[in-house]
């Protein structure tokens, strides 16, 4: 759901650089560091690693999706045809660099991080696709206004890749999943963004409000969603149990999206594509 929230990015990298430089100064400058490197390896250039704070307790994610190896043959044929056509139909946008960052290789405590996404978070746009695109392509100098997802799925079938999956989208603020988050700035709370892929469904017109539900998403949105998810699951080896919602990962208890999501519609389609077996 699109609302401003806080992010952590530049500060984490700067803190990291400062600690590395302080370490170099403490042992007598760059030449000595390089000399010592031959003996001691790259340890001198790394800050002392510390245990990162863990996220607060959160309800466990119990996936509404289940393992299924049978498929509806007609649905399978339709989705396989869509899968073949999809690469040519994806619109790729260049959003403003203030709204995303690189996936970090270390947290604020010097611990190594994987840069491969391992979680998929579903959202809804609340307002139309054009509104989301306009927000992502606008320069936002203030951290609290910076926002992005990797992909948008339009009500009438548009598939818009707004950010390459290798980059870190600012899709969630204060958040965690199954006891996991990443803190890139100790002054700010942790988030799932460093290991997440964010995908948002265009909200129907009757959902442009704060009501708890609306008329739901179109069949073509579920078709496109299943094809995109099956591709991401295969490409990054993400299990179906790691497809979740913004509502679940949000630790601030402010997000409700995606509202009126039909998990059984997704279950049938992912099973038809062989992604749940
Ligand atoms: Zn959201």
pLDDT greater at residue 221 or residue 147: 221
The predicted pLDDT at position 46 comes to 54
- Collapsed DSSP state (helix, strand, coil) of residue 227: helix
pLDDT of 12: 34
* Surrounding residues of ion ligand 1, Cβ less than 5 A: 1, 123, 246, 257
> Does residue 52 fall inside a structural domain?
yes
Each residue of 125-167: pLDDT tens digit? 999 999 999 999 999 998 888 999 999 999 999 999 999 999 9
Look at the chain and report how many structural domains it folds into: 1
Is 2 domain-assigned? no
| Domain presence at residue 21 | yes
CA-closest candidate to residue 26, choices 45, 11, 4: 45
In-domain check, residue 17? yes
Q: What's the gap in Å between 140 CA and the centre of ligand 1?
A: 18
Helix, strand, coil share (%) of the chain residues, nearest 5: 40, 15, 50
Q: Is residue 217 part of a domain?
A: yes
Classify the C-alpha dihedral 205-91-122-225 as positive or negative. Answer: positive
Q: How far is the CA of 146 from the centre of ligand 1 (A)?
A: 13
CA 173 to ligand 1 center in whole angstroms: 10
Asked whether residue 31 is assigned to any structural domain, the reply reads: yes
Domain extent, residue 209, equals 10-272
Identify whether 40 is part of a domain. yes
Q: If DSSP codes are grouped into helix, strand and coil, which group holds residue 91?
A: strand
Going from the Cα of 142 to the center of ligand 1, the distance in angstroms, rounded, reads: 19
Q: Using one digit for the tens of pLDDT, what is the confidence trace for 65-117?
A: 999 999 999 999 999 999 999 999 999 999 999 999 999 999 999 999 999 99
Centre of ligand 1 to C-alpha 174, Å, is: 12
Distance 255 CA to ligand 1 centre (A): 6
How many angstroms separate the alpha carbon of residue 51 from the centre of ligand 1?
29
Residues 9-58 pLDDT 10s: 333 333 333 333 333 333 333 333 333 333 344 444 555 678 999 999 99
CATH classification of the domain holding 28: 3.40.80.10
150 domain-assigned: yes
d(CA 119, CA 108): 21
């Amino acid at each position: 759901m699109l609302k401003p929230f806080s992010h952590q990015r530049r500060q984490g990298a700067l803190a990291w650089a400062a600690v590395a430089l302080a370490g170099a100064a403490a042992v007598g400058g760059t030449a000595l560091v390089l000399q010592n490197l031959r003996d001691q390896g790259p340890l001198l250039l790394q800050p002392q690693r510390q245990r990162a704070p863990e996220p607060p307790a959160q309800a466990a994610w119990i996936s509404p999706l289940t393992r299924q190896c049978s498929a509806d043959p007609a649905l399978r044929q339709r989705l396989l045809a869509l899968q073949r056509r999809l690469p040519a139909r994806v619109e790729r946008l260049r959003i403003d660099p203030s709204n995303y960052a690189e996936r970090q290789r270390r947290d604020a405590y010097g611990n190594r991080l994987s840069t491969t996404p391992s979680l998929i978070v579903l959202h809804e746009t609340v307002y139309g696709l054009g509104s989301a695109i306009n927000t992502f392509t606008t320069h936002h100098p203030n951290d609290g206004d910076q926002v992005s997802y990797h992909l948008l799925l339009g009500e009438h079938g548009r598939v818009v890749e707004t950010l390459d999956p290798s980059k870190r989208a600012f899709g969630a603020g204060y958040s965690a999943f199954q006891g996991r988050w990443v803190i890139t700035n100790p002054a700010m709370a942790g988030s799932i963004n460093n290991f997440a892929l964010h995908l948002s469904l265009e909200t129907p017109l009757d959902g442009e409000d704060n009501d708890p539900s609306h008329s739901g998403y179109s069949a073509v949105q579920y078709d496109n969603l299943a094809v995109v998810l099956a591709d991401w699951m295969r490409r990054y080896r993400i299990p179906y149990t790691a497809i979740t919602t913004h509502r679940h990962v949000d630790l601030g208890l402010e997000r409700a999206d995606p509202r009126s999501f039909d998990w059984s519609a997704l279950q049938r389609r992912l099973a038809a594509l062989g992604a749940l077996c």
